[in-house]
Amino acid sequence: MGEELLSVKNLTTSFKIDGTYYPAVDGVSLDIQPNEVVALVGESGSGKSATAFSLMKLHRNARIEGQVDFEGKDLLKINEKKMNTIRGGEMAMIFQDPMTALNPLMKIKLQIMETLKIHKTKAKSERESYAIELLSRVGIPNPERVGEAFPHELSGGMRQRVVIAIAIANRPRLLIADEPTTALDVTIQAQILDLIRELQEDLNSGVLLITHDLGVVAEMADRVAVMYAGQIVEIAPVKELFKYPKHPYTRSLLNSLPHEEQMGSRLHVIEGVVPALNKMDRDSCRFAPRIPWIPAEAHEHNPELREISPEHYVRCTCYKDFYLKSDPDIGLQVEQEQMENGAEEVKE
């Protein structure tokens, strides 16, 4: 297509455990168009934050391989000096915990002015007034006073607005939001999500939204990538994914949420735990150990992401045979089908 803002190809980020590197992000490929919100969903240990940090090259002790094409440059090939002009400039990040993301010893306005100075966005004389303007842009009442304040004098929601003000200060082309509302109260979360959406439309930028909250994904994203054990297991446009989830992990995850229709009933539980980085069978379907009732033949060796309908990609063939064990109707139905199939086979 060539119009991608960001094109990640085969990104592999490895961390050292006992002297050996193990990939926490294992061959992730992902595109983001301008003006598109792509959500990266997964649970802790899925590698979603490690992916975000890799794009910004913020890892301290990791080996990053693959290709990260951003506005015509492969970020993995450019040096630190060049990278520093991109970080906080064309590509900016919003962090998870606003309580710890700001320097406690620096006035708010100085923390914003710092990024304006680095990226030479405004002349020295205009920086201060622009910082105040940004504060007011992210919905902070009394921006002049807040500019003079230190982080500890602000509430969590206000601090997250400051973090967002820093991120949008240089009108980034790509905004990476790493769990931007996880630490916030639900009414504040709604406000912050509104703000991010509004700014994204304003700046016409792409957004990579990292989150574990499927509700946030449904509301915010245009496309969703689901990550499990370092790999993307399913990518689809948001409506498609929530209406017709295919991969067993996606379906399990959606079913483990409490739903209005089934108050008080038992929730779906995913058996087992996410495998540890250094104890993972990397050649087979990584979700297989957690759906042991699905026969081994259903899985594919070295499973790949395949397009099963336009723009809908799923990894491994096991989705075809998958049924939720906790759903007695479907479970029974599938078992019956299998029995019938088996019977036919015997007949033949």
Partner 1 sequence: MPGDALSGLIDPTVPIEQIERLREQMGLNNPWYIQYRDWIAAMLQGDFGHSFFKQQPVLDVIGDRMLNTIWLSLFSAVLIYLIGIPLGLISGRWNDSPLDSLITGYTYLGFATPTFIFGLVMLLLFGYTLGWFPTGGSVGAGIQPGTFEYVLSKIQHLILPSFAIALIGLVGTVQYLRSGIIETKQKDFITLARAKGVTEGKVYTKHIFRNSILPIAAFFGYEITALLGGSLFIETIYGYPGMGRLFLESISIRDFSVANVLILMYGMLAIIGTLLSDIILSIVDPRIRIK
Partner 2 sequence: MNNLLEINNLKVYYPIKGGFFNTVKDHVKAVDGVSLNIPQGTTYGLVGESGSGKTTTGKAVIGLNHITEGEILFDGKAISGSGKSVENSKEIQMIFQDPYSSLNVRKRVFDIVSEPIRNYHKRTKDELIAEVLDLLQKVGLPPGSLYKYPHEFSGGQRQRIGVARAIALNPKLIIADEPVSALDVSVQAQVLNFMQDIQEELDLTMLFIAHDLGVVRHMCQHIGIMYQGRLVEEGTAEDIFSNPQHLYTKRLIAAIPDTNVDKIDENLHIRQSVKEEYDQHFHEYLDEDGRALPLINISATHKAALPAKG
> Which positions touch partner 2 (CB under 8 A)?
43-44, 156, 185-190, 193, 212-219, 238-239, 242-243, 252-254, 256-260, 263-264, 266-270, 273
Contact positions with partner 1 (CB under 8 A) in 158-177: 163, 166
Q: Which is closer to partner 2, CB of 144 or CB of 194?
A: 194
How many amino acids of this chain bind partner 1 (CB under 8 A)?
Answer: 30
Residue 268 touches which member of partner 1, partner 2, none, C-beta under 5-8 Å by kind: partner 2
The first and second tokens of residue 272, run together, are 């087992």
d(CA 30, CA 9): 7
Residue at 153: amino acid letter: E
Q: Does 329 bind partner 1 (CB under 8 A)?
A: no
Question: 264 is in the binding site of which of partner 1, partner 2, none (Cβ under 5 to 8 A by kind)?
Answer: partner 2
CB neighbourhood size of 328 (10 A): 9
Backbone phi and psi for residue 77, each to the nearest 5 degrees, phi listed first: -100, -15
- In the block, which residue shows the tokens 């994204």? 200
Binders of partner 1 in range 40-99 (CB under 8 A): 56, 58, 80-81, 84-89, 92-93, 95-97
* Closer of 88 and 147 to partner 1 (Cβ): 88
- List % helix, strand, coil for the chain (3-state, nearest 5): 40, 25, 40
Q: Which does 243 bind (CB under 5 to 8 A by kind): partner 1, partner 2, none?
A: partner 2
Q: Which of 170, 164, 205 is nearest to 6 (CA)?
A: 205
Nearest approach in angstroms of CB 42 to partner 2 is 9
Judged by CB under 8 A, the chain residues 102 through 131 that form the site for partner 1 are 102-106, 114-115, 118-119
From the list partner 1, partner 2, none, partner contacted by residue 254 (C-beta under 5 to 8 A by kind): partner 2
38 near partner 1 (CB under 8 A) = no
Contacts of 110 (CB under 8 A, 6+ apart): none
* Partner that binds at residue 276, options partner 1, partner 2, none, CB closer than 5 to 8 Å by kind: none
Residue 94 CB, nearest approach to partner 2 (Å): 17
Question: Residues 46, 274: contact at Cβ < 8 Å?
Answer: yes
Residue 80 CB, nearest distance to partner 1 (Å)?
7
Helix ranges (H only) for the chain are 48-55, 80-86, 108-118, 124-137, 143-148, 156-168, 186-203, 214-220, 238-243, 248-255, 328-347
CA pair distance 224, 242, nearest whole angstrom: 9
Tokens 């997250």 correspond to what residue?
Answer: 160
- Helices 156-168 and 124-137 pack at an angle, to 10 degrees, of 130
Q: Residues near 81 by Cβ (< 8 Å), separated by ≥ 6?
A: none
Judged by beta carbon distances under 5 to 8 A according to partner kind, the member of partner 1, partner 2, none in contact with residue 266 is partner 2
**Residue numbers at the binding site for partner 1 (CB under 8 A):** 56, 58, 80-81, 84-89, 92-93, 95-97, 100-106, 114-115, 118-119, 150, 152, 163, 166
